[in-house]
């Protein structure tokens, strides 16, 4: 049994057959009404008043608009079937008009793609994630720690050594994506000790030039591989 919320949501949509039947019936009824009005006025020998002429013209305009709406629904159905195939027997489905990226000149839909970005010069991820993802006009970089690419382990020397190594790793990944630190629009910094902020900030400042990207610095209880610092990026493609 459908819950109250699901039932209210279902009632907002008409399935295809009902929508076509209703719109078609409105168009047929309106066509008959328009013809009746014109024939009635043609048989009347009295001079047609201005208001009566405008009323007839209004019915004609509404009729045209409804017919165009009917044609748009049929066109949308054909596009849906080409993309999804015929529905299974006995199935009903509703029209969900979703916003899409449309090319103004080509009048076609563009599907957003997602591409993973990797570098053979870096150690593979330690979990089920991509080092970076390109989606639309932006690149989303996963958090990087001071991992030595040759060993896959954290570099020795504390937070400053880790910071230098992770920025080197980020530079390698940016190069693989065809970008640089100048394209970074936001940075997320995670520290296990907020007392390390000053030391890290000095190393951080050498990576960027004004206008600096937006930044958030968060003190975290623990980081992957026991790191003291982790940095993630949002980059303009």
- Contact assessment for residue 161 and residue 146, using Cβ atoms and an 8 Å cutoff: yes
User: Is position 192 within any domain?
Assistant: yes
Q: Are residues 142 and 221 in the same domain?
A: yes
Helical ranges in the chain per DSSP H:
4-10, 16-43, 50-84, 159-176, 197-205
Q: Are residues 119 and 196 in the same domain?
A: yes
Of the candidates 102, 123, 147, which is a domain's last residue?
Answer: 102
Q: How distant, in Å, are the alpha carbons of 63, 177, 199, 236 from that of 72? A: 14, 42, 62, 37
User: Is position 214 within any domain?
Assistant: yes
- What is the model's pLDDT at position 130? 95
Q: Are residues 118 and 229 in the same domain?
A: yes
- What is the model's pLDDT at position 157? 95
- What is the model's pLDDT at position 36? 60
Q: Greater confidence, 67 or 181?
A: 181
- Residue 218 belongs to a domain with what CATH number? 3.30.1330.40
What would the mean pLDDT of 145-149 be, rounded to a whole number?
Answer: 95
> SS3 for 2?
coil
Q: Which residue do the tokens 């066109």 mark?
A: 75
User: Is position 108 within any domain?
Assistant: no
d(CA 52, CA 44): 12
Write the CB contacts of 6 (distance below 8 Å, at least 6 apart in sequence). Answer: none
Q: Are residues 13 and 63 in the same domain?
A: yes
Of the candidates 77, 102, 127, which is a domain's last residue?
Answer: 102
d(CA 126, CA 105): 45
- What is the model's pLDDT at position 138? 96
- Contact assessment for residue 212 and residue 218, using Cβ atoms and an 8 Å cutoff: no
Q: Are residues 28 and 77 in the same domain?
A: yes
Q: Are residues 206 and 122 in the same domain?
A: yes
Q: Are residues 120 and 89 in the same domain?
A: no
User: Is position 137 within any domain?
Assistant: yes
Confidence tier at 69 by pLDDT (50, 70, 90): confident
- What is the model's pLDDT at position 45? 43
What would the mean pLDDT of 130-152 be, rounded to a whole number?
Answer: 95
Q: Are residues 79 and 147 in the same domain?
A: no
- What is the model's pLDDT at position 7? 42
Which tokens hold the place of 94? 């509703």
- Taking all residues of the chain, what is their mean pLDDT, rounded to a whole number? 76
Percent of the chain exceeding pLDDT 90 equals: 49
Q: Are residues 20 and 126 in the same domain?
A: no
Of the candidates 78, 102, 126, which is a domain's last residue?
Answer: 102
User: Is position 107 within any domain?
Assistant: no
- Contact assessment for residue 215 and residue 189, using Cβ atoms and an 8 Å cutoff: yes
User: Is position 109 within any domain?
Assistant: no
18-53 pLDDT, tens digit per residue, is: 655 655 565 556 556 655 655 565 555 444 455 556
Q: Are residues 119 and 223 in the same domain?
A: yes
d(CA 97, CA 12): 12
Task: Inform me whether the pLDDT recorded for 201 exceeds 50.
Answer: yes
User: Is position 163 within any domain?
Assistant: yes
92-124 pLDDT, tens digit per residue, is: 444 333 444 444 444 444 566 889 999 999 988
Residue 21 domain boundaries: 4-102
- Exposed, middle or buried by CB within 10 Å (0-12, 13-18, 19+), for 139? buried
Q: Are residues 118 and 218 in the same domain?
A: yes
Percent of the chain exceeding pLDDT 70 equals: 58
What would the mean pLDDT of 200-226 be, rounded to a whole number?
Answer: 96
What would the mean pLDDT of 124-132 be, rounded to a whole number?
Answer: 90
In DSSP terms, 117 is beta-bridged to 132
Instruction: Please state the domain count of the chain.
Output: 2
154-184 pLDDT, tens digit per residue, is: 999 999 999 999 999 999 999 999 999 999 9
HSE (side-chain half, CA atoms, 13 Å) at 51: 0
């Amino acid at each position: 049994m459908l819950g109250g919320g699901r039932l209210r949501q279902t009632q907002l949509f008409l399935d295809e057959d009902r929508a076509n039947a209703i719109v078609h019936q409105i168009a047929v009824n309106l066509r008959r009404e328009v013809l009746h009005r014109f024939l009635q006025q043609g048989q009347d020998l009295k001079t047609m008043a201005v208001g009566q002429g405008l009323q007839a013209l209004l019915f004609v305009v509404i009729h045209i608009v409804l017919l165009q709406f009917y044609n748009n629904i049929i066109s949308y159905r054909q596009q849906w079937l080409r993309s999804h195939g015929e529905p299974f027997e006995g199935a009903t489905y509703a029209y969900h008009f979703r916003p899409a990226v449309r090319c103004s000149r080509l009048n076609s839909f563009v599907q957003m793609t997602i591409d993973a970005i990797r570098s053979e010069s870096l150690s593979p991820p330690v979990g089920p994630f991509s080092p970076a993802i390109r989606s639309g006009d932006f690149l989303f970089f996963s958090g990087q720690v001071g991992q030595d690419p040759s060993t896959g382990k954290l570099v020795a020397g504390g937070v400053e050594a880790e910071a230098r190594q992770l920025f080197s790793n980020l530079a390698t990944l940016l190069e693989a994506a065809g970008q640089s630190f100048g394209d970074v629009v936001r940075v997320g910094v995670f520290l296990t000790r907020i007392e390390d902020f000053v030391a890290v900030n000095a190393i951080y400042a050498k990576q960027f030039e004004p206008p600096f990207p937006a930044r958030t610095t968060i003190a975290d209880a623990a980081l992957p591989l026991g790191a003291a610092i982790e940095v993630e990026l949002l980059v303009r493609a």
